[in-house]
Amino acid sequence: FLVYATGGGGGSAGSGPSGGGGGGGTAIRAYTESQMGSGGSITIGSGGSGGSGGEQSSSGFAFESGSHGGDTTFNPNGNGSNCVGEGGRRSTGSSGGEGGEGEGDIDIQGRDGSGGNYSPGNGSASGGYGGSSHFQHHGAGGDGADGSVSDNVDDETYSGGSGRGGQSGIVVIIEYG
């Protein structure tokens, strides 16, 4: 048996040009019949939620953090070890979240989310991209929120959309023989 477990992607922060959430890590583990036993239990890691959006005046962006992606676990009924894909980390500001890691025979770290793009001054700013996982659409981190700055007569107004949630993880089991 060959098992792949990928964690959920991290959610991005909101209320400013935030970084993307990290991608879920992937673990790959091989099992013999005795290690697998009669089956196993599976927990799929959910994607982290995005932070809320909002508007602030004069004090800069007040980022609202996203949440971490959940771990995905395969636990065989036999005497084999668990296969765990860790969830991607959330973004808490303009920096991207870190990619999750794996706990298997082979481990593939999720990609880190990229940082938000902000230059001081009047105008809009774009959020970063969420990190990818080993599987294209499962375990991806949420893209960062966009933000904007309006220069008023006596102050500035900072605003940003809501952060985006990460994608849930996945387990793939391949049986040979």
At 133 the pLDDT is 97
Separation CA 53–CA 147 (nearest Å): 9
**Strand-pair category, 147-151 with 40-43:** unpaired
- Per-residue confidence (pLDDT) for residue 14, from 0 to 100: 93
Alpha helices, H only, 24-175: 33-36
Q: What does pLDDT average to in each consecutive run of 10 residues of the chain (177 residues)? A: 98 93 98 95 98 81 92 97 98 95 98 87 84 94 91 80 96 92
- The whole-number pLDDT of residue 172 equals 97
Number of H helices, E strands in the chain: 1, 12
- The partner residues of 107 in beta bridges, in order of sequence, read 27
Do residues 10 and 141 touch, judged by C-beta distance below 8 A?
Answer: yes
pTM: 0.92
- Strands (E) in 31-98, as ranges, are 40-43, 54-57, 72-76, 83-85
The pLDDT of residue 159 is 85
